[in-house]
């Protein structure tokens, strides 16, 4: 038996940050990643539900990258160093 699945991590983050589906869609859009409400619903269903879908690494990674931007703001431009 392993630890948490990507779906479990996604659910816990959604609850911890009090995010609605529309919030998650907007957060994913911050990193130019499109996800639909029906896809999100499939990730958050119980594993025994017929429409359950496993959350892949790419989806969770894009959500996490978007969440960082959502919480912190975009990365500042790096200034070129004088040589």
Backbone phi, psi, residue 15, to 5°: -70, -45
The lowest-confidence range among 10-14, 45-49, 62-66, 76-80 is 76-80
The answer on pLDDT for 39 being more than 80 is yes
SS3 43: helix
**pLDDT, position 76:** 76
The lowest-confidence range among 23-32, 49-58, 73-82 is 73-82
What is d(CA 23, CA 36) in angstroms, rounded to the nearest whole number? 12
Residue boundaries of the structural domains of the chain: 6-72
**pLDDT, position 53:** 96
Backbone phi, psi, residue 36, to 5°: -100, 160
First to last CA, the chain: 54
Task: Considering only residues 76 and 31, tell me which one the structure prediction assigns the higher pLDDT.
Answer: 31
**pLDDT, position 80:** 67
């Amino acid at each position: 038996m392993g630890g948490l699945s990507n779906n479990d991590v996604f659910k816990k983050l959604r609850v911890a940050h009090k995010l609605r589906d529309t919030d998650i869609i907007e957060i994913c859009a911050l990193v130019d990643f499109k996800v639909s409400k029906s896809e999100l619903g499939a990730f958050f269903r119980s594993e025994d539900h017929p429409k359950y879908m496993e959350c892949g690494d790419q989806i969770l990674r894009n959500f996490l990258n978007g969440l960082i931007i959502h919480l912190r703001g975009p990365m500042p431009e790096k200034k070129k160093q004088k040589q």
